[in-house]
Amino acid sequence: MECLVVHGYAGTTTQRIQDAAGVSRGALLHHFGSKSELLVAAIHHIAAIRLETFTREVADLDDSPEALRRMVDAIREIMAGPPFQAALELWAASRTDEQLREALLPAERRLGAALRELFARHAGIADPAAASLAFESLMALVRGLELTRNMRADSAVADRVIDDWFRRVEALRA
């Protein structure tokens, strides 16, 4: 994950991974026969980290008015930082690497299903179509905000965008 974040997908070589992990070439090749196999394992590891973080953050979520805000904060947390940055590198690479894409989809779908299920439970939006659109817009916002974070001079913009999303969703809530 560190190599993906620091060097990007193209710069993540098996030699760099080997050096960062402090293992011999033979040890690395014993477990992973190719860079693709290694990155497939990384995909599952990164998705598991993100899902564990989310699950831990929302473990005690109740039906209070603040539940939706806490859930959105947890989503923002897993859509930021090194695990998400590494995932972005793999998403971009999976566009042209079918083996990566095939490994990436189930891992990301598990995470997405957990997020979607919890959102449906705590969003308080009765209309399923409106709830689905609110969830998808939240995911697009959070991903886009993190993707463009390093280009933004005003770091508070992301909070204002999310606050605006909350105002719009509040009109949909029962």
Q: Is residue 76 part of a domain?
A: yes
Question: Can you read off the two tokens belonging to residue 162?
Answer: 């999310």
Is position 91 within any domain? yes
* Domain contains 36: no
- 39 part of a folded domain: no
pLDDT in tens, the chain (174 residues): 899 999 999 999 989 999 998 999 999 888 888 888 888 888 888 888 888 888 888 888 887 778 889 999 999 988 888 888 988 999 899 899 888 888 889 888 988 998 999 888 888 899 999 999 999 999 999 999 988 888 888 889 999 999 999 999 999 986
Quick one: which H or E segment has residue 114? helix 98-122
Task: Judge whether 29 lies within some domain.
Answer: no
Domain-located, residue 75: yes
**How many domains is the chain built from?**
1
Question: For residue 87, what are the domain limits?
Answer: 46-170
Q: What CA–CA distance (Å, rounded) separates 149 from 23?
A: 34
Burial class of residue 124, CB neighbours in 10 A (0-12, 13-18, 19+): middle
Query: Is residue 133 domain-resident?
Result: yes
